[in-house]
Amino acid sequence: QNAIRKTYNLCTDRYITLDGIARVVSKALGKEASIVHYDHANAGLKKGEGFPMRTVHFICSCDKAKAELDWKPKHSVQEDVSEVIADYKAKQKDTGEVDLSVDQKILA
């Protein structure tokens, strides 16, 4: 009853940066992360082109769900990413071509 018509973030209660996410994903893939930071405003991208980078911190908090629903996270980002990647590979979704043209434009 407490959750009717309410919105809750069901997520980890550990904060992780975008760099941290890249490192977790690369570790799950058995690779080394190569992280390049760039200024989105000076990357020469057209509106709607490329990944929508944030210049401020973005935080999801599950505090409301914990307080109102007595909920607590049972997973970690590391475990979930490893599981998602294993499933992705099992379905052979990692064998297709990837369009890296925007990435190449950013790194040029």
Q: What is the DSSP string of the chain?
A: -TTTT-------SS---HHHHHHHHHHHHT---------GGGS-PPTT-S----SS------HHHHHHH-------HHHHHHHHHHHHHHTTTTSS----HHHHHHH-
* pLDDT mean for each 10 residues of the chain (108 residues): 90 88 91 84 73 70 94 92 92 85 81
What is the pLDDT, as a whole number, of residue 5?
94
Q: Is the pTM of this model over 0.85?
A: no
